[in-house]
Amino acid sequence: MERLHIAFFGPTNSGKSTLVNALAGQQVSLVSPIPGTTTDPVRKVIELPGLGPCVLIDTAGLGDASALGAERERLTRAILDETDIAVILDAPEASQMSENPGQLQQKPGEIALNVPDFGTLAAQAGIPVIRYKRGESVSSLLERLIAAAPKEEQKFLTGGLVQAGSSVLLVMPQDSEAPKGRLILPQVQVLRELLDRGCVPVCCTPDSLPAALESLARRPDLVITDSQVFSLVERTIPKDSPLTSFSVLLAAAKGDVRVFVEGARAIASLKPGDRVLIAEACTHVPDTEDIGRVKIPAMLRKRAGDLTVDIAAGNDFPEDLSPYSLIIHCGACVANARLVRSRIRKALLAGVPITNYGIALAELGGILGRISIP
């Protein structure tokens, strides 16, 4: 289940951090009367009654007149790209927080300063906006958050590729990039979904793939693999076995897979001197086997020659995309759909082709037409 991202915006000292702490029932952000105490976005993963898994995002205050004010506002604006619900706070001349963490108090005679620009920006992006009413209880705010939460039908990562009783073979490399002692998030999510849908999943590594196939009474109804071993798996499995990858499933669930497939075709027209952006939604320390920073750039250069490859990690997605001939986005396993779709929209507006890891690797391996897409 994707976590609902709830972000809090408003001027400095408007009570955003106090409200986030009250909603979470614990100290998430430092609170002080000094303007600009929150300098960077602060995230808290939490379960909220009636909403389920959420991410609360406390942002730096707007109207910060310090030397870093403009940079803090830039980081705050970037949060809109991943915001599912925006909570806008107004700034009184002076405010005080009640000792009761469930309520924000306003002194008599205080004047609230609206932040219409940010509320408008959120609304223009199709984000539900809640104006926090000073003095409103946390329980009342929670009720409004529940009412504002996007109502979407349940979607399966595997879409219509499987049904109850389907035999599904999962090929999952456990290399140095895999977390020690556990599976990566997309593998866990897909495996759990298959069990919930009444499928019969069988798990193996690329090395044990032949043995796994040998153990099955019939060919698998679907093979799901890590994209980086697409070609190896495609050569090994029966030619009539449908094949896809975890990244392709995420592309269909969180982005626009049609745009990604069309974007991958731009790989064929890359030439020496072109600039490619590898966009990662998360941040991590890469190693020699890193798929986005090592393997994909090497495959692109082998195909197109001397390319310039830039890496954008986390929220460091460039505002100016015009220098790029292609954007290749990660599977976005830790990002929400709004962030991915926002980046797709920016790429389309800039006229830059965009694809994702799984679709790009299938194209580079010459098997994109062989891949099953939900």
Q: pLDDT of 155-170, one tens digit each? A: 899 999 999 999 999 9
Give the end of a domain, one of 95, 122, 148. Answer: 148
Looking at the fold, whether 180 and 315 belong to one and the same domain comes out as no
Please indicate, yes or no, whether residues 33 and 138 belong to a single structural domain of this protein: yes
In a domain, 254, yes or no: no
Residue 198 pLDDT exceeds 60: yes
Of 125-134, 192-201, 294-303, the least confident: 125-134
Reply yes or no on whether the pLDDT at 8 is more than 80: yes
Q: 134: pLDDT confidence band, cut at 50, 70 and 90?
A: confident
Report if residue 154 sits inside a domain.
no
Establish if 374 belongs to a structural domain: no
206, 229, 248: which is the final residue of a domain? 248
Mean of the per-residue pLDDT values for the chain? 86
The pLDDT of residue 111? 34
Question: Which residue range forms the structural domain that includes residue 349?
Answer: 259-369
| pLDDT the model gives residue 114 | 40
For residues 57 and 139, state if they share a domain: yes
Question: Do residue 238 and residue 294 come from a single domain?
Answer: no
Mean pLDDT calculated for residue range 194-201: 97
- Give the pLDDT band (50/70/90) at residue 103: very low
Q: Choose the final residue of a domain: 110, 127, 148.
A: 148
**Domain match, 113 and 29 both:** yes
Measured distance CA(95)–CA(105) in Å, rounded: 7
Give the CA radius of gyration of the chain.
Answer: 23
User: Mind listing the pLDDT tens digit for each residue in 143-152?
Assistant: 999 999 988 7
Query: Of 19 and 223, which is predicted with more confidence?
Result: 223
Count the domains in the chain.
3
| Segment 214-230 mean pLDDT | 95
Pair 163, 89 in one domain: no
* Measured distance CA(157)–CA(196) in Å, rounded: 12
- The three-state DSSP-derived secondary structure of 192-248 is HHHHHCCCEEEEECCCCHHHHHHHCCCCCCEEEECHHHHHHHHHHCCCCCCEEEHHH
Query: What is the per-residue pLDDT across 329-361, written as a single tens digit (0 to 9) for each?
Result: 999 888 899 999 999 999 999 999 999 999 999
- pLDDT (mean) for 44-66: 86
Question: CATH code at 186?
Answer: 3.40.50.11420
Does residue 165 share a domain with residue 271? no
Model pTM? 0.81
pLDDT in tens, 57-82: 999 877 666 667 678 788 888 899 99
